[in-house]
Structure 1
Amino acid sequence: MTDRVYPTSKPATKETSPLNATNGGTTTVNNPFPANKAQLRPRYRPQPPPRRRRSCCCRCCLWTTFIIITILLLVAIAGVIFWAVFRPQKPTFSVSNLQLSQFNLTSTSVISRFNFTVSARNPNARITYFYDPFSISIYSNDVNIGDGSFKNFVHGSKNTTVLKTVVASSGENLESTDIATLRGDIKNKKSLPLKIMLETKVKAKIGSLKTKRMRIRVTCEGGHVAVPTGKTPTTAKTSGIKCEVDPRIKILAWSF
């Protein structure tokens, strides 16, 4: 009897693929190696930043805008109510009398004396004005020919106050061009064009509320006065003199 010999290992197996038949309808495919662990990890993709901070900024901007609009609306409503209740108006000034009793012009200076009267009227029914002392300057073609002042006073509601003072120049030195300008007006026009400026500070009392002091300037223009030849003073025509009241608002070093 013959002994049979069995192989100790199995022959390599082959897989056939019916779809890719190249040799008699079969194709030999070896088993691939197992995939690497690194290849199984998903690819990293950076995520966009969260939008929470952006939404918070938008909310803050919207609320800030809303608050500002609300404040402006309330201020406008309060202004309308204030105007309807108090009807505030600026005080008015007018030149009641202006006389030139002395005017001596030398080669370097001018000596003058004016009798000056102003009427101040407060047209408001519920507002009282408190004036500081006034400073007064009279100019002729931008040449200062006299200075003076008014005392401080209280200007009651619906009240007209008459203020009188003397405005004079005691011989301050002037430029030669200023002297020539004054001589030309006296020789050719027989009179001097006048510009009167009053400056002071004022505060107002509105009901029980008092405002801060504010600087104001009163400018009166349109007057002419003849130079006296003797001891009799000359009187300016006040009907053509118009006065304007302007607040002087100071921002840093500038006044408007």
Structure 2
Amino acid sequence: MTDRVYPTAKPNPPPAAMNGGGSGVNGTTLNGNGPAKTQTGQLYNPNRPRPVYRPQQNRRSSRSCSGRKCCCLTFIYTLIAILSLLLLAAIAACVFYVLYHPKHPTFSVSSIRFSRFNLTSSDPSGFAHLHSRLDFTLTAKNPNKKKITFVYDPMSVELSGAGVNAGNATLPAFAHVAGNTTILRATVISDPTRDLDSDSVKQLRSDLTKKGGFPVSAELNTMVEVQMGKVKTKKIGIRVTCNGIKGFQPKNAKSKTPTPGTTKDAKCKVDLRIKIWKFTF
């Protein structure tokens, strides 16, 4: 029999060279033919950019910032709305002033007459009493030319002579249309039971002896409503103060002819009182 010849086994590959060609250490190629592979099979590229770390924003801070933003926006919108309303009110006031050109009412003292103004003798307690009767005439004017009407409630009148209350009266309610002049008359009578102390009596007797007359003042208080066509305002307080009046004591207390006073220097001031606000004209 002939012998069979079997091929010899394939030789094992040479070990990996440290600095030469072929396979490198840990299965990496060192011959420069492409990127090397790591043990995990991923390609290693030293020129690949590294990922940038970006910290995550805190959700609470973002929520708080959004809440503050909402508050700021609400404040800005509210401020804009208020400024817009004020601007509209100013425009409306300007238009009203141009169309109507409103003016406040004026008052003046036309005349004052004294039928009685004398002191009684002091009683044992040291007090005296004033007996007075005055006829008071007031002129009220509405200087507005357009349809502006003043509607007055009943008006209280208080007269003071030489610093002493000379009596009170009430004028009836009336409507004061534009361009109208109204004459108001009142008879003021003092309260004979009102006691005057010694200081008031002394001052009053001194003023009654003056040749130029003793000072008299008048104060009127009421409520007024302003009407402009169909538009009506709320009632506001009004006070009229008149000074510069001079009075004279009647020579004969039983005389039927009153003694006139002097009103040429009389001036009246109008105060509008709206709650805590006060406007003087």
Q: Which of 59, 75, 79 matches 2:89?
A: 75
User: What number of residue pairs does the alignment pair up?
Assistant: 212
Residue equivalent to 2:183: 162
Distance (whole Å) between structure 1 residues aligned to residue 174 and residue 75 of structure 2:
51
Q: Give SS of 1:173's match.
A: coil
Residue equivalent to 1:111: 131
Q: TM-score, normalised by structure 1?
A: 0.77
Structure 1's consecutive aligned runs of 4 or more residues displaced over 4 angstroms after TM superposition are none
Tell me the CA shift for residue 189 of structure 1.
4.9
Q: Which of 197, 202, 210 matches 1:180?
A: 202
Moved more, 137-146 or 234-243: 137-146
Q: Would you say the 8 A contact 2:134–2:189 is kept in 1?
A: yes
Residue type matched to 1:173 in 2? D
Distance (whole Å) between structure 2 residues aligned to residue 179 and residue 250 of structure 1:
37
Residue equivalent to 1:126: 147
Q: Say which one has the larger Rg.
A: 2
Tell me the CA shift for residue 242 of structure 1.
0.4
Structure 1's unaligned 5+ residue stretches are: 1-41
Structure 2's unaligned 5+ residue stretches are: 1-52, 123-127
Residue equivalent to 1:211: 233
Q: Give SS of 2:270's match.
A: strand
Offset from partner CA, 1:181-205 (integer Å, 9 cap, x none): 1011113456320111111111111
Distance (whole Å) between structure 1 residues aligned to residue 181 and residue 263 of structure 2:
18
When the two chains are superposed, the root-mean-square deviation of aligned CA atoms in Å is 2.2
Distance (whole Å) between structure 2 residues aligned to residue 190 and residue 111 of structure 1:
21
Say if 2:105 is the partner of 1:91. yes
Residue equivalent to 2:78: 64
Q: Which of 242, 252, 256 matches 2:267?
A: 242
Moved more, 98-107 or 138-147: 138-147
Q: Would you say the 8 A contact 2:271–2:278 is kept in 1?
A: no
Distance (whole Å) between structure 2 residues aligned to residue 199 and residue 138 of structure 1:
12
Task: Report the CA distance shift for 1:250/1:174 in structure 2 as closer, same or farther (over 3 A).
Answer: farther
- Structure with the higher fraction of residues in strand conformation: 1
Q: Give SS of 1:147's match.
A: strand
Residue equivalent to 2:31: none
Work out the percentage of aligned pairs sharing the same amino acid: 41
